[in-house]
Structure 1
Amino acid sequence: MLAATSGSENYIALDQPIDIDVELVRAVADGDRKAFERLFRLYHSRIYKFSIRMLQDHLSADEVACDTLYAVWTSASKFREQSTVSSWILGIAYRRSLKSYNKNARHTENREPTYQMEELVESSPSVNPETYTNNAMEVGQMQKALSTLSSNHRAVMELIALGYSVTEIATIVGCPENTVKTRTFHARRQLRIALQD
């Protein structure tokens, strides 16, 4: 079933699902500030969560999130719709996170931990305090183990944790799927060793 839009030559298939994110990027490419504000609200938190896990620094992660979304604003017209909007945006965030990581790597040993244990582990009145403490300790050990990985290996593991598929991760980090699988294999092996220690 087809429906006419503004002109008789423009038709939209009504039985096709409309990708809201793609529509927002198209509107941003046309200079629509309201669409950009909506895209900003949808993606700032996701980008920040990804970047904070990579960078372990609140200010750097927030800077990456803002820089990434500014890049979306200025280059929305370059989005070719060959991947999902999420993969495109996180690809930009990945490259900016790597750049920030490499620029600030020599200063990371003096940083304070980025998370409070309470923020990492859900707490509710029904949670047993011993279970809460054990979970918080496990999260701390996992964060420490993740910090031993190279930036490429860590990025793959963080994207897996965020629920991205191998195909999506390959698009985000800009490498073949087999490279993602290899990085995942090596990262898991390194994590096992680090967690055993």
Structure 2
Amino acid sequence: MTLQNVIEERALLKEFQSGDRIAFERIFRLYNTSLIFFATRLMASFEQVDPQEIVMDVFLKLHDKRTDFTTLSSIKAFLYISVKNSCLNAIEKEKVRLRRFDTYILDFDEAEQNVLSKIIQAEVLQELYAAIELLPEPYRIVMQKIIDGKSAKEISQELDIPVSTVNTQKSRAISLLKNNLSGAGIALLLLYF
């Protein structure tokens, strides 16, 4: 480094430390392009983060700390280290955001499947209840009580009929329902009974 360069560097540094806008612009022009390139390379897989914003934020920090620097080399080191750290922080934040997004999508898919399952179940139950309403009265009464969760013994006591009659009516009702229900309705019927 020539004596002329040393004198120019010290003058630029002194003007920069005093808050001179032109000195700051010179330092900005000196490092901005290479810092953006550096940040872009670090952020290559994370398009959501703007490397130019990171570099701008670092230059703002540099301006705030301008009195702390004694050489242009220390400014350059500060700029590169700060850009690297800011990029790493942005990458980590982006990874957290992506994990949250993935979790949200997974939860959303599960919730959507659950809602779809509930809709199908409600439709099939409606079909089953409608088919039960069409059964002859003794069969219908037995089936409704079974749906309410009562055992054959409880139904026989309530209706004052033998347990074997309850089982026979249930069996005949199921046989009639199988003829009137869709595949899903039959599957639900077999699940219940």
Relative to the length of structure 1, the TM-score reads 0.41
Name the structure with the higher helix share.
Answer: 2
Larger radius of gyration: 2
